[in-house]
Structure 1
């Protein structure tokens, strides 16, 4: 993993009324820790995969939920404590149905949290990155862009 090249990732802010889907996972940076962290369903773009295919795949693998994308929240750029720069394409989605109880390795569960719950997790340092709360606040306050903002010439719709 080259920490000097940006890592392209996707994330889904899955909203159901006033609750948001988060996954609880083991801290990958501190494998000795028993404390878990919370994140949106998110992960790396795989070779020859579109951003939209990646967000559907990652959400299903990490949470067991099928979703429908509502729009594009934006590109979030963040440097992790280990120096890796992430370019995270973030989508707003609504849940359709939970189709699997089997979650990716390292994820202990997927559940629904209110903004108040998420802010409490944030105060206690339990969010995987500052992007988790920021994405949710943006989903509540900022415009959501149409999916056709992404022009993927390798994966035409």
Structure 2
């Protein structure tokens, strides 16, 4: 039970993957709150799915690319402000990975709300910070660029 809300509290658990190829990052342009924003291939963990399975699935559904995870970058917490005055904030716990692009299947349909997948340099992505879906987009890339890598074995599923 959450002290502040007087009920059980549970954050949204999400995954995201940084995929780099030829000096460019795989980025998703998606509709959010009436505008097109930029994000890594990312999304929510589904029941009975491992974090790694979710990351691979989200990349496939949002970009048409098959990927292989190679490392874990880190876990991040973020509170999204309430959309309306008096509304409640949403809380996210994001698990970020490094992935390797294996191949694209252009016949796949992109998830609803996804406008397109594109490849951007880190500089291009940083300069478009006003279009990032959340502060976690750049934070994850910055940690990736700084060489932050952990073994996938750090995350266990029982």
Give me the TM-score of the superposition, normalised by structure 1: 0.87
Please tell me whether residue 48 in structure 1 is matched to residue 48 in structure 2.
Answer: yes
Q: How does 1:2-151 map to 2 (within 5 A)?
A: 4-27=9-32, 30=33, 33=34, 35-82=35-82, 83-100=89-106, 101-122=108-129, 125-151=130-156
Which stretches in structure 2 are left out of the alignment for 5+ residues? 1-6, 83-88
Aligned residue pairs: how many? 145
CA RMSD of aligned residues (A): 1.5
SS at match of 2:131: coil
Post-superposition CA distance 1:1-60 (Å, at most 9, x none): x99421111101111132101100111xx2xx3x31000011110011111111111110
Spell out structure 1 runs of 4+ moving beyond 4 A: none
Which stretches in structure 1 are left out of the alignment for 5+ residues? none
Larger Rg: 2
